[in-house]
């Protein structure tokens, strides 16, 4: 039987300060709980509606429409950055949890195992990030870091640093490498000046409409297009 204190503590994990304090986060939904159980993450408890009751699930849930199953998962210990050759992406100040989670799902789909995120990105274990990732949060490693420094480290390894810009060169007309770092910037402001200064190749997804058109693409949409083109040409 869950106590009021336990329910309140689980509910409190909706906020980052409590996720940090307790070192735990919540996963909701049959698919995501199955993903958690089959991952290398430590699942501390699984609560099902038929066992704890509908009222308790509604009080614990971080969702507008509570799921019939919820898991309490231990946050993994932060890891240091060890660079190896390969293709990676970097996220600069991505603050929308839906975008961040969708980008994790995309990187998982396109076989990219590590994402470098600036310190002002949304936290990976935010409930909305976890939900939007559809389980990819358990397979894609997110390393929070000094992003401009990571860019410099890639360049010291003679690996390209790509960045998406509205004044970049058409992605379909320039050469692409199968190793390096691809940067995607903030939803409103793009890649910040410090990281932008370290970019070795500025790329653009061209618009095919003449005259007035959308100002830009959603960052998750842009990620999907860019990764698809890299993988199409760099198998």
Instruction: Work out the mean pLDDT of the chain and round it to a whole number.
Output: 93
Distance separating alpha carbons of residues 114 and 88, to the nearest angstrom: 6
CB of 224 closer than 8 Å to CB of 204: no
Averaged over 148-162, what is the pLDDT? 96
Burial of 12 (0-12, 13-18, 19+ CB in 10 A): middle
CATH code for the part of the protein at 87-233: 3.40.1280.10
Give DSSP secondary structure letters for 62-123. -SSS--SEEEEEEPPPP------SSEEEEESS---HHHHHHHHHHHHHTT--EEEEETTSPP
Taking only the tens place, the pLDDT of each residue in 189-198 is 899 999 999 9
Query: pLDDT value at position 140?
Result: 96
Q: Which helix (DSSP H) or strand (DSSP E) does residue 30 occupy?
A: helix 30-38
Residue 61's pLDDT band (cuts 50, 70, 90): very high
This prediction's pTM: 0.94
Q: What percent of the chain has pLDDT over 70?
A: 97
Tell me the two tokens of residue 7: 């329910």
pLDDT (average), residues 96-121: 97
pLDDT value at 214 more than 70: no
Which CATH number does the domain 4-74 belong to among 3.30.1330.30, 2.30.130.10, 3.90.960.10, 3.60.21.10? 3.30.1330.30
Give the integer Cα–Cα distance in Å for 142 and 150: 13
Q: Quick one: pLDDT at residue 57?
A: 93
Q: Do domains 4-74 and 87-233 have the same CATH topology?
A: no
Per-domain residue ranges of the chain = 4-74, 87-233
Q: Quick one: pLDDT band at residue 207, thresholds 50, 70, 90?
A: confident
* Residues 17-53: tens digit of each pLDDT: 999 999 999 999 999 999 999 999 999 999 999 999 9
């Amino acid at each position: 039987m869950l106590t009021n204190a336990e329910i309140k503590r689980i509910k409190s994990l909706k906020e980052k300060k409590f996720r940090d304090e307790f070192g735990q986060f919540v996963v909701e939904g049959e698919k995501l709980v199955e993903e958690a159980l089959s991952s290398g993450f430590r699942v501390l408890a699984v609560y099902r509606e038929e066992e704890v009751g509908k009222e308790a699930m509604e009080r614990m849930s971080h969702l507008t429409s509570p799921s019939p199953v919820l898991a309490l998962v231990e946050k993994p210990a932060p890891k240091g950055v060890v660079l190896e050759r390969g293709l990676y992406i970097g996220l600069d100040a991505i603050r929308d949890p839906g975008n961040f989670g969708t980008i994790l799902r995309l990187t998982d789909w396109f076989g990219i195992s590590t994402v470098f995120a600036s310190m002002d990105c949304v936290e990976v274990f935010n409930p909305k990030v976890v939900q939007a990732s559809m389980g990819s949060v358990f397979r894609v490693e997110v390393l929070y870091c000094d992003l401009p420094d990571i860019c410099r480290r890639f360049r010291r390894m003679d690996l390209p640093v790509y960045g998406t810009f509205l004044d970049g060169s058409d992605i379909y007309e320039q050469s692409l490498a199968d190793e390096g770092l691809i940067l995607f910037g903030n939803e409103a402001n793009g890649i910040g000046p410090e990281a932008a200064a370290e970019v070795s190749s500025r790329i653009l997804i061209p618009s095919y409409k003449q005259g007035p058109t959308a100002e830009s693409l959603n960052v998750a949409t842009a990620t999907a297009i860019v990764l698809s083109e890299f993988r199409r040409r760099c198998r």
